[in-house]
A = this chain, B = another copy of it.
Amino acid sequence: MARTIPIEAGSYTQDCDDCPIRHRAVCARCEHDELAQLEKIKYYRSFEAGQTVAWSGDRMDFVASVVSGIATLSQTMEDGRRQMVGLLLPSDFVGRPGRESSAYDVVATSDLVMCCFRKKPFEEMMLRTPHIGQRLLEMTLDELDAAREWMLILGRKTAREKIASLIAIIARRDATLALQPPTGGLTFELPLTREAMADYLGLTLETVSRQISALKRDNIIVLEGKRQIRIPDFDALIEQTGDDSDGGLLV
């Protein structure tokens, strides 16, 4: 099922500039020789928008970090109902050490480059290098918090609050990656189709479209094209999410 296109074997560069693994993921505290070991088991894969990285149940013999582009993790019921359970932005980590097959459908929603590590040697390295495991634990705990934030969104928020929450999350992540403060005016690209947003929020695409139109009508957001969004007043957006203003909203 999973059609993938490996593009190049990773070549060792000490600063690992092309790969965010060093910053958010496994090797932030690694020394030179550990980095060198990681480099040996590292390779890149790229995917086109819409391509499936792995279906739920597919054998997955690597773990990976997103270098550029966006991917989604989702679950599908037999009758086709789909729920996204994770959004993978650059620097996010995918794959579970100790599990041989993917538990979720992993789909590239834009052109995507991932930095992969073969699972077996990665696991062995984890055993030898405790801070890789520690880093992974931290990241997993962050993901768990994000998942629980989503549970609140899915279980208790109205359609309008859901959309506002999703836009706020993406805006925050986008601002973080771009190192812009998420206050004042802020422009970015919605990396998801209306349908993908619906699958994320437990809504239909029609409801998503209607609520986006409503937020536009109320000047909470400004659409520049279908996907490009400008947020004139970030605090006004946050008010629409139902969260208390200081709130966490991790992703």
Residue with the highest number of chain B CB atoms closer than 10 Å, among A96, A133, A138, A151:
A151
15 residue pairs of the A-B complex, CB under 8 angstroms, read: A75-B149, A77-B243, A79-B242, A83-B156, A85-B151, A96-B141, A103-B145, A127-B130, A133-B137, A140-B141, A143-B144, A144-B147, A147-B151, A151-B151, A156-B202
**Could you mark each residue 36-57 of chain A with 1 if its beta carbon is under 8 Å from any beta carbon of chain B, else 0?**
0000000000000000000000
Query: Is A23 at the interface (CB under 8 A from chain B)?
Result: no
* Contact with A148, one of B75, B130, B137, B141 (Cβ below 8 angstroms): B75
Query: Is A155 at the interface (CB under 8 A from chain B)?
Result: yes
Closest 3 CB pairs of A and B: A155-B202, A147-B147, A154-B154
Residue with the highest number of chain B CB atoms closer than 10 Å, among A82, A202, A242, A243:
A202
Query: Is A33 at the interface (CB under 8 A from chain B)?
Result: no
A151 to chain B: closest residue by CB: B85
Q: Which residues of B contact A147 (CB under 8 A)?
A: 144, 147-148, 151
Q: Which residues of B contact A73 (CB under 8 A)?
A: 148
Query: Is A32 at the interface (CB under 8 A from chain B)?
Result: no
Query: Is A20 at the interface (CB under 8 A from chain B)?
Result: no
CB of A123, distance to nearest CB on chain B (Å): 10
Q: Which residues of B contact A155 (CB under 8 A)?
A: 83, 154, 201-202
**Could you mark each residue 124-160 of chain A with 1 if its beta carbon is under 8 Å from any beta carbon of chain B, else 0?**
0011001001101110110111011111101110000
Query: Is A117 at the interface (CB under 8 A from chain B)?
Result: no
